[in-house]
Amino acid sequence: METGGDGNGEVGLFWDEDLSGISGLKRGGDFVEVMCGCTCPKYGDAIGRLRILAHGDLEVSCECTPGCQESKLSPAAFEKHARREASRKWKNNVWVMVRGEKVPLSKTVLLKYYNKYNANGAHRSHTGRLCHRDEFIRCTSCKKERRFRLRNKEECRVYHDALKDLNWKCSDMAYDRISCDHDEERASRKVYRGCYRSPTCRGCTSCVCFGCEICRFSECSCQTCVDFTLNAKA
């Protein structure tokens, strides 16, 4: 990780030349913040502030309107907020301004730490297999349970935020276009949760994670994430 401020071109997480020409740049010891946006063909540009944190976390504070209260959104959630979620390609749909041009995040150095900590897709057990099994949350409106796949950090963040939302509804699903009118998964299907040890596993050390850098978030203020972050630093 680049750290610095010693006058040799190192600035926080990135070198000076890495950030040259990027609009709205703000730098801190463990983060970089830039202006970002997402363009919906029908509604136009939604503007926000993207913060890149040292452990790979990405969060967007939306500024689409003066009164918008959306903050600490994942890029995927920001993409949905901008009404562009249908393509599910936030790395290409969310952009930053570089010398007056819109440049997709995928073509910048800003995903360096995100890619580093998500290189394997998710936290893995000693066997090398993915260990975040699928989870379910019940809609507060229709009372149907909806599946959340937790294969990478983005999906874990979507589930994490939904779990905190006491009024979560089907329409809040970040990746899938789903409504309360859609059928609930059959019980015979729900038993398959993505465990590699056993397809119908009810929870084991191979598929249940009790906290890692993929499913815990340093910028989240919930007690679970705060405790994990403090313990990790210790």
Predicted model pTM:
0.53
pLDDT band at 144 (very low <50, low <70, confident <90, very high): very high
What digits encode the pLDDT tens for the residues 6-58? 333 444 678 888 888 999 999 887 789 999 999 988 889 999 999 998 777 88
52 to 27, 59, 114, 226: CA distances (angstroms): 10, 7, 8, 18
- Reported as a single tens digit per residue, the pLDDT across 158-185 is 999 999 999 999 999 876 778 999 999 9
Mean pLDDT of 80-100: 84
Residue 143: CB partners within 8 Å, gap ≥ 6?
none
Return the H-helix or E-strand segment holding 46: strand 44-53
Reference 80, options 200, 172, 3; nearest CA is 172
- 93 contacts 87 by C-beta, under 8 angstroms: yes
Over its C-alpha atoms, the chain yields an Rg (Å, rounded) of 19
Q: Is the pLDDT of residue 148 over 50?
A: yes
CB under 8 Å to 209, separation ≥6 — which residues? 123, 131, 132, 215
Burial of 136 (0-12, 13-18, 19+ CB in 10 A): middle
Q: Is the dihedral of CA 112, 118, 121, 124 positive or negative?
A: positive
pLDDT value for 121: 44
pLDDT band, very low/low/confident/very high, at 194 (cuts 50, 70, 90): confident
Residue in the structure block whose two tokens are 């590699």: 196
Please tell me the predicted confidence (pLDDT) of residue 94: 94
